[in-house]
């Protein structure tokens, strides 16, 4: 069984990663290290910068990864985008819903970029999911903006209403992690 080290302080992201990657025979170990994020409009640039910082802090033999994600709302010109974590900490779901009050165009997408280093080579994998912003927060599962995001591919429930396995079938993060797993294993077959 292969192991990767995931530099994250978010237990929800760790849980999702463990579930997705285990299907490829990959175990995930949390790497507790302070991540530094550069201010950028590019999730890929943020993830690469964070990974380079992590690699200066720790010296591990194996695959190390970081993940950065954002909610991009069309009517708000992509806001909060790469600033999603900060915006969530300041105004939360209710603040976004207030910004969207009376807005007809509720299209949005979640994007995720996983940056991984294997034998000093940095690679990135992107995943996205399209959907809409709900009119009210629903569900106590997931984290962050999950209770206000309804994926198009789902059954009308928000990410906050979905169990981890249901969310992983659709989510931006799971899609990026599956691409990572396929790259690491050299195949697209799930075991």
- Give me the residue label for tokens 């999702």: 16
Strands 80-81 and 149-151: unpaired
Q: Is 146 a catalytic residue?
A: no
Which residue in the list 68, 101, 146, 155 is annotated as catalytic? 68
* Separation in Å, CA 50 to CA 7, 39, 116, 162: 9, 11, 10, 29
Instruction: Identify the CA nearest to 76 among candidates 168, 174, 145.
Output: 145
Q: Are 146 and 71 in contact (CB under 8 A)?
A: no
Its sign, for the CA torsion 24, 15, 4, 51, is positive
Catalytic residues: 68
């Amino acid at each position: 069984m292969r192991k990767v080290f995931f530099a994250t302080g978010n237990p929800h992201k760790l849980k999702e990663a463990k579930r997705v990657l285990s299907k490829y025979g990959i175990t995930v170990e949390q790497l507790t290290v302070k991540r530094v994020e550069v201010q950028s409009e590019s999730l890929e640039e943020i993830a690469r910068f964070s990974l380079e910082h992590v690699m200066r802090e720790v010296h591990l033999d194996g695959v190390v990864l970081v993940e950065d994600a954002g909610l991009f709302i069309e009517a708000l010109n992509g806001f909060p985008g790469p600033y999603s974590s900060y915006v969530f900490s300041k105004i939360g779901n209710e603040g976004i819903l207030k910004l969207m009050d009376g807005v007809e165009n509720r299209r949005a997408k979640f994007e995720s970029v996983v940056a991984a280093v294997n034998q000093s080579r940095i690679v990135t994998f992107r995943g996205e999911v399209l959907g809409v912003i709900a009119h009210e927060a629903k569900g106590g599962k997931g984290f962050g903006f999950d209770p206000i995001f309804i994926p198009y591919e789902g059954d009308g429930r928000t990410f906050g209403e979905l169990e981890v396995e249901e969310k992983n079938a659709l989510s931006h993060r799971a899609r990026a992690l599956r691409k990572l797993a396929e790259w690491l294993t050299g195949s697209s077959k799930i075991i």
